[in-house]
Amino acid sequence: MTRQVDVVVVGSVNRDYVCRVGILPEPGETVLGGEASVGSGGKGGNQAVAASLLGARTALVARVGRDDDGRALVKDLADAWVDTSEVLPTPARTGMAFVMVDATGENSIVVAPGANELLEPRTTSRAVRALIRPPGVMVTQAEIPEDAFAAAVRAADEVGCRAVVNLAPFRPLADDLLALCDPLVVNESEAGGLLGHPVRGPEAARAAVAELAGRCRSVVVTVGAQGAVVGQGAHVEHVEAEPVTAVDTTGAGDAFTGALAAALSAGADLVDAVRLGVRAGTFAVQRHGAQASFARGAELGVGPLHERG
């Protein structure tokens, strides 16, 4: 019998190749970099680790290659207590992300999806159905094939669980899928892509949340260092972030989404879950790396959200 979990993440895993630079290069420009490093990433892997480190029993549904990068990714996930029974090897090369981080902590990322493109809808649907029951939470992102993404969202709805949908990177989303998002999690750029006009800053995010709230069950628009705006029904609230000095924004949005999902799976209401997500993202930007920067509960001043089985 499959072990039930609190959070199932359906998403991508990538080996991150990171180089620190003084400034990000312009098109056609070559710049000399500084420190280079290799780590574990991918939005799916990052969000699974973020949820697991806060105490949620978390499983990841993903694909890796039969190579050293794939084996390293699985080891790092297991070391963070993520159930990797659905992180399976394929003939394709493990996904890779090429990351540049400048002196202000901003980044530029190119992803070569590799094995992530082999994740199939029948797999994601079966895994979601097997792994969670209410009040469990399913999380997915747009770094996997569209049909696998859609199957995961629909399966979560069919078993009565929340679908936390992080539409990153942006792609158009059909109205029937948008209606199942609870919440839809987007940044300003992704919100603008959905609405067809720019969204910049908290006030514009408030207007975007009000507009999107009628199209999905709930919505969160993150506004970087200014926190996030959350909407559920007629209620719209801006959750502000504590001012900090950022050294690396890589993975901060994933820290937010993973913490949000973990809190929801433990019974938190959406606004309180967003508050924890904002704190998790703020913690992450003050440290280098993606998964290496994520907080344990004690580092956010909270106890484990679940008792580990």
| Distance, CA of 243 to chain centre | 22
List pLDDT tens digits, range 190-226. 999 999 999 999 999 999 999 998 899 999 999 999 9
> Are the C-beta atoms of 16 and 39 separated by less than 8 Å?
yes
- Is residue 186 predicted with pLDDT exceeding 60? yes
Rg (CA), the chain: 18
Helices and strands counted in the chain (H then E): 9, 13
List pLDDT tens digits, range 120-170. 999 999 999 999 999 999 999 999 999 999 999 999 999 999 999 999 999
Of the two residues 5 and 307, the one the predictor is more confident about is 5
3-state SS, residue 87: strand
The pLDDT value recorded for residue 1 is 40
- Is residue 297 predicted with pLDDT exceeding 90? no
List pLDDT tens digits, range 223-250. 999 999 999 988 999 999 999 999 888 8
Q: Strand 228-232 vs strand 235-239: parallel, antiparallel, or unpaired?
A: antiparallel
> Are the C-beta atoms of 26 and 282 separated by less than 8 Å?
no
pTM of the model: 0.93
Active-site residues, by number, are 254
The pLDDT value recorded for residue 307 is 62
Six token digits for residue 188: 């300003």
